[in-house]
Amino acid sequence: MDNSKFYTPHIKATPDDFAKTVLMPGDPLRSKFIAETFLEGAKLVNNVRGIHGYTGTYKGERVSVMASGMGMPSIGIYSYELYNFFGVENIMRIGSAGAMSESVKVRDIIFGMGACTTSNFAVQYGLEGTYAPIASYDMMRVAIEEAEKLRARYCVGNLLSSDIFYNANPEASKKWQSLGVLGVEMEAAALYMNAAYAGKRALAICTVSDHLLTGESLDSDARQSSFTEMMEIALNTAIRL
């Protein structure tokens, strides 16, 4: 394969352009913020459809960061291509989540040990049951160690990857809450399934941006650039993988 000419419909780059570990925020501007704030020698390696992807070094180790867009279809495309066409081994989703538990506070960090979902993403595998998407234990163990070093406030448990942001049923979250789900977001389950199918590793690290029970919420500017604790945990994890 001629790497200099290789690209997919969504990523115009070469496999050599990406590090083995990619951080994936949903927002392209958060990807840009991370590259400009934390990476040395950051180079823009992809910008198809405005999905910023950068590679640079962090504490001397090569790391990439690229946006996933919103929702399971979007992260499903980008993570699939990174795993299967660009040689990426580890992807960490670093995004926001809405808290669904009284034990979780705004700005807490949730490590998604598992990801429930309302999506039919797993239908493609033709399984005779329900697949349970889970994180890479190795990645999660290292990330928790890094969170402990920073004395970050965090919790570990189940996320809900929902296909719906504006749900017509105002009671939709209550049953998930009754089963101990900590927070709702829109990407982790697809990422975990793509990783499992490709034999790669994945982890979702989410900062709580709003609370379904209390109504507390952070604005879009805060979501874009103030979740630096989560970013540092992810970067410090990346260089240990």
Q: Of the residues 27, 210, 219, 221, which is catalytic? A: 210
Please say if 210 is a catalytic residue.
yes
Three-state helix/strand/coil letters over the chain: CCHHHCCCCCCCCCHHHCCCEEEECCCHHHHHHHHHHHCEEEEEEECHHHCCEEEEEECCEEEEEECCCCCHHHHHHHHHHHHHHCCCCEEEEEEEEEECCCCCCCCCEEEEEEEEECCCHHHHHCCCCCCCCECCHHHHHHHHHHHHHCCCCEEEEEEEECCCCCCCCCCHHHHHHHCCCCEEECCHHHHHHHHHHHCCEEEEEEEEEEECCCCCECCHHHHHHCCHHHHHHHHHHHCCC
Give me the active site residues, please: 210
